[in-house]
Chains A and B, each alone.
Chain A
C-alpha cells in the first residue's frame, strides 16, 4: 500500500517571502504521479502542480515549484513571493499509473500567509 506523509501540520510565512512544504511518500512501484492540491475554507480542492515520476525535471507553475527527489521519495512544494490568497490547507497526493482512479492523500499542511 502507498502512504503519503506531510510532517508539518502548520506553517506560516510573511507576505512576499518563500516557504517550502514537505511531503514524503512510500511505494515500491516505479510509475506514478504526484500532486499538490490547495484547499481553501470553501472546501474545494484545487490542483496546484503535478509531477510525473518518470520526468527528472522538476515541475513549475508560476510561483509554485517542486523539488522531486525520487530516490528519497520526497516531493516538496516551494511557494515564492507568497500572497495572502495562498492561505489554505495544502495536500500532497499520489496516484499509481496502474490504478489511476485512486489517489492517496497526506493529512495536509495549514499554511498561513501573514501581512
Chain B
C-alpha cells in the first residue's frame, strides 16, 4: 500500500482478554516500530524491528506484551490478559532503514479495555 496501515482502527475488549494489533508497513521498509500513546502524552517507544528480528524491545512494559514480524513485513503486537491501564493508542511506523531516516506512521489503533 501507499502508507502504513494499522488494523483495527479501534478495538474495545474486556479486561483479561487477549488482543492482536496488526501493522502493515510501507513496502520495502526494513525498519518497523511500535509506540504507545496515552491520552495527553507523547508516543512511548515499545519495540523496534530491523527485518524479522527485534533489534530493541526495551520498551515493552512487561511480559504480557509481545510482538512478531515473521516475514520482515507485517507485524503483530500481542497483548495478553489485558488491563485497563493498557488503554491507549498504539502507533506503528516504518522507515526505509534505520530510525535516523524519515519514519512514516500509521493512524494507530485505539485500544480500550473495559
Known: A95-B99, A103-B103. A43 touches B108 (CB 8 A): yes
Q: Which of B13-21, B54-62, B63-71, B74-82 contacts A (4 or more CB under 8 A)?
A: B54-62
Interface size class of A (residues with CB under 8 A): 20 to 34
A91 — which chain B residues lie within 8 A by C-beta?
42-43
Contact in complex: B107, A103 (CB < 8 Å): no
Question: For chain B residues 28-78, which have a beta carbon within 8 Å of chain A?
Answer: 31, 33, 35, 40-45, 48, 50, 55-56, 58-59
Distance of A50 Cα from B100 Cα, bound (Å): 9
Quick check: is B93 within 8 A (CB to CB) of the other chain? Answer: yes
Of B33, B42, B48, B103, the contact of A47 (CB 8 Å cutoff): B103
Is B11 in contact with chain A by the CB < 8 A criterion?
A: no
CB distance from A96 to the nearest CB of B (A): 9
Q: Could you list 4 further interchain pairs (A-B, Cβ under 8 angstroms) beyond the known A44-B105, A105-B44? A: A43-B91, A47-B103, A91-B43, A102-B45
When A and B form their complex, which 9 residue pairs have the shortest distance between CB atoms, in order from nearest? A101-B48, A105-B42, A100-B99, A45-B105, A100-B98, A43-B108, A100-B100, A44-B107, A107-B42
Show the binding face of B for A, using Cβ within 8 Å: 31, 33, 35, 40-45, 48, 50, 55-56, 58-59, 89, 91, 93, 98-100, 102-108, 110
